[in-house]
């Protein structure tokens, strides 16, 4: 799987697009607002630069894309009023892989500018917005040129499917029948995924360290794992339900078994301890803040209850969210013709699962400051 070419959310603005199904991701962005406020305020107050560069890594497209930009400008405008300073010129970079729907972003720029102007207490911060295609597992900026990085719901995507998992010729994948770490995955599969995450997250930290100005900061939010038992992790349950859906289609001859056995997600949900261990091993950043919050699978369920009121509707809602994330990869590997049937089955599997357990998505939040 050529991850850089194939990994992107479903584009456009249709019913199954990411733009129409990214409410779960919106919740994460809103959740980090107090952390974002503190980090951006500190960077600005410390540096008092006439120009400030902010980059959103893994921006995707849709309404969430400009949410962080708006929040950052509000923070800067508020602080400048309090300190009686002229606001700096803001350069925003929106980064994602080349397959991202950047056209949707560019077409939404006028709407964004109008919304900023018409908002109560207009945000009078001079700003410029640019798209930046490319993998954040590579250098993206000149040395010491960025003041602040933000990334939400992106770092759980690793740079490649771990080597040794793909079936080739007579070689059968040790992860046969699974698309991620499942209950039948041997310890080797777990190690391969963990090693790939460690390599990628270490590289991410090294690259951002080079690109950040002294005292620059990052706020990162990404899916992780709350349970210690990786086989019983929340994301293992989620991807296990997708595997079950594909397996049922194999049994009916709709999907070739070899296709399923050769498909593994370039994804890893670390525990907070795993993420912290990589940060400490690199020694490049101070951890300013770290926390985990949980989000219901159903984006329209804001309750703290341990039960689901309408499991069928919740299953359908969550299936649309996951479809908007997986459809491009699924269509590329299995063919577009199976997509509707796959997510119909997945919705039913989710509905059955939610009757037994209201599983939630753990989101790791980290605020890191570049060491001097």
What confidence tier does 8 reach under pLDDT thresholds 50, 70, 90?
A: low
How many CA within 13 A on the CB side of residue 329?
A: 24
Question: Is 133's pLDDT higher than 80?
Answer: yes
DSSP state of 330: H
Tell me the C-alpha distance between 366 and 218, whole Å.
8
Average pLDDT, rounded, for the chain: 85
Residues of the chain above pLDDT 90, percent: 33
Question: Is 10's pLDDT higher than 80?
Answer: no
More confident residue, 261 or 168: 261
Query: How buried is residue 177: exposed, middle or buried, by Cβ count under 10 Å (0-12/13-18/19+)?
Result: middle
Question: What is the pLDDT at residue 171?
Answer: 67
What confidence tier does 21 reach under pLDDT thresholds 50, 70, 90?
A: low
Question: What is the pLDDT at residue 3?
Answer: 62
Question: Is 16's pLDDT higher than 70?
Answer: no
Phi and psi, residue 143, nearest 5°: -60, 140
Least confident of 16-30, 52-66, 153-167, 212-226: 16-30
More confident residue, 306 or 335: 335
Question: Is 355's pLDDT higher than 90?
Answer: no
Q: By the 8 A CB rule, do 63 and 102 touch?
A: no
Q: By the 8 A CB rule, do 297 and 359 touch?
A: yes
Question: Is 20's pLDDT higher than 60?
Answer: no
Question: What is the pLDDT at residue 347?
Answer: 92
Task: Write out the two tokens for 352.
Answer: 């059955």
Q: By the 8 A CB rule, do 336 and 318 touch?
A: no
Residues of the chain above pLDDT 70, percent: 91
What confidence tier does 15 reach under pLDDT thresholds 50, 70, 90?
A: low
Question: What is the pLDDT at residue 348?
Answer: 92
Question: What is the pLDDT at residue 273?
Answer: 93
Task: Write out the two tokens for 164.
Answer: 């040794």
More confident residue, 334 or 193: 193
Question: Is 256's pLDDT higher than 90?
Answer: no
What confidence tier does 98 reach under pLDDT thresholds 50, 70, 90?
A: confident
Angle of CA points 183, 189, 194, to nearest 5°: 110
Question: Is 213's pLDDT higher than 90?
Answer: yes
How are strands ordered across the β-sheet holding 360-370? 127-133, 89-96, 51-57, 146-152, 212-223, 360-370, 285-296
- State the pTM of this model: 0.88
What confidence tier does 169 reach under pLDDT thresholds 50, 70, 90?
A: low
Least confident of 10-19, 109-118, 120-129, 330-339: 10-19
Task: Write out the two tokens for 96.
Answer: 């994602």
């Amino acid at each position: 799987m050529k991850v850089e070419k194939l990994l992107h959310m479903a584009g456009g603005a249709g019913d199954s697009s990411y733009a129409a199904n990214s409410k779960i991701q919106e919740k994460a962005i809103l959740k980090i607002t107090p952390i974002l406020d503190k980090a951006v305020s500190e960077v600005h107050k410390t540096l008092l630069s006439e120009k400030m560069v902010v980059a959103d890594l893994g921006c995707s497209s849709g309404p969430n894309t400009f949410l962080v930009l708006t929040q950052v400008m509000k923070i800067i405008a508020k602080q400048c009023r309090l300190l009686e300073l002229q606001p700096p010129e803001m350069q925003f970079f929106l980064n994602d892989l080349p397959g991202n729907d950047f056209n949707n972003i560019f077409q939404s720029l006028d709407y964004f500018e109008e919304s900023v102007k018409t908002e109560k207490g207009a945000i009078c911060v001079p700003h410029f917005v640019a798209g930046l295609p490319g993998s954040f597992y590579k250098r993206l900026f000149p040395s010491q040129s960025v003041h602040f990085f933000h990334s939400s719901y992106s770092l759980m995507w690793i740079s490649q499917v771990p080597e040794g998992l793909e079936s080739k010729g007579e070689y059968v994948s040790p992860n046969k029948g699974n698309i991620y770490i499942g209950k039948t995955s041997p310890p080797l599969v777990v190690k391969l995924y963990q090693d790939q995450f460690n390599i990628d997250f270490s590289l991410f930290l090294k690259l951002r360290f080079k690109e950040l100005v002294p005292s620059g900061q990052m706020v990162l939010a990404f899916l992780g794992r709350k349970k210690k038992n990786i086989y019983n992790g929340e994301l293992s349950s989620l991807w296990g339900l997708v595997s079950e859906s594909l397996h049922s289609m194999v049994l009916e001859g709709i999907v070739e078994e070899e296709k399923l056995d050769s498909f593994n997600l370039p994804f890893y949900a670390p525990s907070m301890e795993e993420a912290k261990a990589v940060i400490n091993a690199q020694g490049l950043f101070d951890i300013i803040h770290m926390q985990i919050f949980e989000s219901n699978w159903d984006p329209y369920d804001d309750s703290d209850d341990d039960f689901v009121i309408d499991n069928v509707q919740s299953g359908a809602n969550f299936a649309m969210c996951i479809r908007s994330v997986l459809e491009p990869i699924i269509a590329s590997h299995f063919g577009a013709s199976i997509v509707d049937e796959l997510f119909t089955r997945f919705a039913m599997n989710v509905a059955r699962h939610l009757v037994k357990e209201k599983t939630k998505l753990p989101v790791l939040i980290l605020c890191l400051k570049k060491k001097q």
